[in-house]
Amino acid sequence: MTTDRHEARAALLAYLERLSDNGARVPCREVDVPERSIWTSDDPEDQELAARLCVGCAGVKACDAYGLAWPKEAGVYGGRTDLERRKAATTPREAA
């Protein structure tokens, strides 16, 4: 992944658009999700609902990688709230 956040975000969005265009399921891009803004809401309850709706997303792996690489980015990425991503980014990994 690139070290430039804007470049990384543009690459992620382009990837998610390709998935959607090819018929893959990307819940935050689906027009029939009534409250699409819950993915970018500051409200923890909105974000928890959005994170649950990420289940089954075709782009979850790439989205999660982006969200962990840029933990200060607001909102839900990869099925994690921004609080969960920030905790994961600061928690040392266990030795294998």
Contact residues for ligand SF4 (CB under 6 A)? Answer: 16, 26-28, 39, 54, 57, 59-60, 63, 76-79
Residue 16 C-beta: closest distance to ligand SF4, Å: 5
Nearest to ligand SF4 of 32, 94 (CB atom): 32
Residue 96 C-beta: closest distance to ligand SF4, Å: 26
Q: In degrees, to the nearest 5, what angle opens at C-alpha 80 toward C-alphas 32 and 12?
A: 70
CB-count burial class (<10 Å; 0-12, 13-18, 19+) for 19 = middle
